A and B are shown apart, each in its own frame.
Chain A
């Protein structure tokens, strides 16, 4: 199974800050990497697919980069509505696996 190591597990930042989350795969997954946002009590929402493609309707302050085993998710300017837990997910092969999540809070 491909292990996804996501860090940090939580972070606190101020409104307007740049926020960066990393995700490392245990083996090469090319660009088969997605990022989701999940707010409490809600289903996950797709933000970034194929490592760097912004899903339709998602604000441009969200971005993703990387390939192979190392990936980065960035919120360019943190907004209050971005408070959520973020997950990376690989889909190179089954079992599809998720990172452990990063809880983002406002300082």
Chain B
């Protein structure tokens, strides 16, 4: 069964770091681009970052560029989001999401994880 499972969320002080993981199963992870999307409490959805299927391209929302890094370990079928210099406004549920089509960079997200909550607070 195709599945994404996020982990690594928690409570962290402003300025500190956190690394989120997204474990993929049930599909050939290396052939799909992957994305991170977040949702602040009571707010809408915000795209955060993109990792191309072949690892050649990464893109970030302006709100996280220079602070967040997306990466992937194909041997572990796992996507990561390294979050540095965290701010209160980064508080959100973080979802990893997979596009519908193999190799497509931009596409509808047909598979989502359950999300992991990140709270940035002193």
Contact = CB atoms under 8 A, between A and B. Distances in A.
Nearest to A56: B110
B108 interface: yes
Given A94-B50, A97-B47, A44 B112 contact: yes
Contacts of A46: 100, 108-110
Contact of A43 (B50, B108, B115): B115
A82 interface: no
27 contacts: A1-B62, A32-B106, A34-B109, A38-B45, A43-B95, A43-B114, A43-B115, A44-B95, A45-B112, A46-B100, A49-B100, A49-B107, A50-B108, A55-B108, A87-B44, A91-B106, A91-B107, A94-B47, A95-B47, A95-B61, A95-B62, A96-B50, A96-B106, A97-B47, A98-B44, A98-B45, A99-B44
Interface of A: 1, 32, 34, 36, 38, 43-46, 49-50, 55, 87, 89, 91-101
A100 B44 contact: yes
Interface of B: 35, 44-47, 50, 59, 61-62, 95, 100, 106-110, 112-115
A95 to B, nearest CB: 5
A100 B40 CA distance: 12
Nearest to A4: B44
A45 B113 CA distance: 11
* Residues of A contacting B: mostly: loop
Contacts of A91: 106-108
Contacts of B95: 43-44
B71 to A, nearest CB: 18
Contacts of A95: 47, 59, 61-62
A7 B110 CA distance: 24
Nearest to B111: A46
Contacts of A1: 62
